[in-house]
Amino acid sequence: MFAISGFYIALMALLLLVLTLLVVRQRLKLKVALLDGGQPPLVVAIRSHANALEYALPVLLLLLVAEANGAGSWFLHLCGSVFVLARVLHAWGLIAGLGGKHIGRMAGILLTWLVQAVLIVDVLWLSLAAMA
C-alpha cells in the first residue's frame, strides 16, 4: 500500500481538476471550443493546467518509487507537501500575473525544482543501495 504517495497523488489530482475547471470557465466565457482562440486569459488557464501536469507526473512517480524503496514517512510528507504547495503557488502566480512575472510563480517553480532534485537523489541513492 502506498498511503503517503497516494495522498499526494490525490491532492495533485484535485488541483488538476480545479485548473481544468478554470480552463472550461474561460472557454465558456470567451466562446472558444478548440485551441486558445488567441485569448490571453485562456492561454494562461491552459498553460497553468499543462504546466502543473508536466511537473506532477515525474515528481509523483519519484515520490511513489521513494515510498516503495522505503523512504521515511517524514521525508515523503515533507516532499509531498512542499510539492503540492509549490504547484498551488505556481498556478496562482501564473494566473494572477496573467502569464508574466509574479512572486507565486517564481517561488512555485523554485520549490518544485528543489523537491524534484531531492527526490531524484533519494531514488537514485535508494535504488543503487538496493542493487548492491
pLDDT at 8 over 90: yes
CA distance 126 to 56: 21
pLDDT the model gives residue 126: 93
CA distances (Å), origin 35, targets 52, 72, 120: 18, 43, 34
CA distance 83 to 99: 21
pLDDT in tens, 28-74: 999 999 999 999 999 999 999 999 999 999 999 999 999 999 999 99
Q: Indicate whether this model's pTM tops 0.85.
A: yes
Here the CATH number for the domain that contains residue 55 is 1.20.120.550
Q: Which domain holds residue 66?
A: 3-131
pLDDT in tens, 83-94: 999 999 999 999
Buried b (16+ CB within 10 A) or exposed e, 88-118: bbbbbbbbeeebeebebbebbbebbeebbeb
pLDDT at 132 over 90: no
As for how many domains the chain has, the answer is 1
